[in-house]
Amino acid sequence: MNPIAKWLSRSFHPLFSTQCAAAVRGKPVLVLLLLVCTTTALATNWNVQVGGSQLAFSPQTVVIQPDDTVTWINLGGRHNVTADNGLFRCANGCDGMGGNGAPSSLIWRATLRFDTPGRYGYFCEPHGQPGAGMYGTVIVASPIPPVSVPVDGASWLLLLGTALLASIGWRYRSSQALG
């Protein structure tokens, strides 16, 4: 496996499989263009522990990106998760979403996706209130806007020329190593 394919398979696994790495063997220009012209956005799930040995949410604050999810996991005790503004109320599922958000002593999990940037305060009804006692915050960060890069004929020529020179240099080094 060539060094670029090896680096890609290590850096992007499992997004970039060994089969994909084999497909780009000997094609560093293609790989360079692929890296320059593509981006990958993956949503992340964040776990927040509820209760257990303490009356707290842990971590108390999570900073996430739009489309990420937060899963609250009750570790023991009679708890729930209620939004300060009434947007959600969860325990054995969430009110209005096929579940019951009333405080529960059962071991439960509740997952919500946050699409809109902002600050979402929440608390446990039996043990807290907005900003006091057993409370927490989800902060959904504003997405970083893409950087505008002017693409004119000269820019593409420079990019392709650089890729061509890199390819020639890589092939020369490969032939020297074999020879």
Structural domains of the chain, with CATH: 1-40 (no CATH), 45-140 (2.60.40.420)
Q: Is the pTM of this model over 0.85?
A: no
Q: Is the predicted pLDDT of residue 13 greater than 80, yes or no?
A: no
| 133 three-class SS | strand
pLDDT at 49 over 60: yes
Question: What is the rounded distance in angstroms from the CA atom of residue 27 to the CA atom of residue 152?
Answer: 25
Q: Look at strands 57-58 and 45-50 and give their pairing.
A: antiparallel
Per-residue confidence band for 159, with pLDDT thresholds at 50, 70 and 90: confident
DSSP-derived letter for residue 16 is S
Question: Which of these, 31, 29, 33, 37, lies nearest to 11 by C-alpha position?
Answer: 31
